[in-house]
Amino acid sequence: MAAVVHGQPNIYCLFLALAAKLLQQDGHLVAITPRSFCNGLYFREFRRWFFSHVALSHVHLFESRTTTFREAKVLQENVIALCRRTGRWLDSVKVTTSHGRDFPDISEQCVPTSTVMQDTSKEMFVCIPKTPEDAAIIGYAERWPMCFKDIGLRISTGPVVMF
């Protein structure tokens, strides 16, 4: 799967790629995965390949990973993604967020796909805003004339957690 992966991404992206490849036209794929595929070098080729085959139509965020996945002792932030094989991206992505363990209250918004799927840097980042305010901030930041590298800043995801 050299066309799909770079480096050492988690195996779940290989599963998602195979599932997307097997989808029929207008078929749906739903997966609960770590959110890490949304950015980063290891997942860049995966994102490019995956989102050339399917359109993200709905993503669900969890306000707290420690509450929702307490028994599993999950260390990563997870999402539920609904994708569809359509041959083109949709105009918007539905974003829902649950605030409790048993989905007692869910907030919902529709966000333009151009806000969620960021390809201005050729990295195909997936930016999922939890609130309309987050979406506005993403839009504002995308209009900045410079990037962090231009002003001498570097971004790090922090140390690797061994478990």
Q: Where are the domains of the chain?
A: 12-151
Q: What is the pLDDT of residue 162?
A: 60
Model confidence band, residue 36 (pLDDT cutoffs 50, 70, 90) = confident
Model confidence at 50: pLDDT above 90: yes
Structure-token match 């097997």, residue found: 22
Structure-token match 């993604």, residue found: 81
Model confidence at 163: pLDDT above 60: no
Q: Percent of the chain at pLDDT above 90?
A: 36
For 16, 21, 60, 136, the CA distances from 77, given in Å and listed in that order, are: 17, 25, 11, 22
Q: What is the pLDDT of residue 140?
A: 85
Model confidence at 30: pLDDT above 60: yes
Q: What is the pLDDT of residue 159?
A: 63
What mean pLDDT value characterizes the chain?
85
| C-alpha to C-alpha distance for 75 and 127, rounded to whole angstroms | 20
Question: Cβ(20)–Cβ(83) under 8 Å?
Answer: yes
| C-alpha to C-alpha distance for 61 and 99, rounded to whole angstroms | 9
Q: What is the pLDDT of residue 43?
A: 86
What would the pLDDT profile of 89-132 be if each residue is shown by its tens digit?
A: 899 999 999 877 777 788 899 999 988 988 777 788 899 998 88
**The domain defined by 12-151 carries CATH number 3.40.50.150:** yes
Structure-token match 């151009």, residue found: 114
Tokens of 74: 């999950």
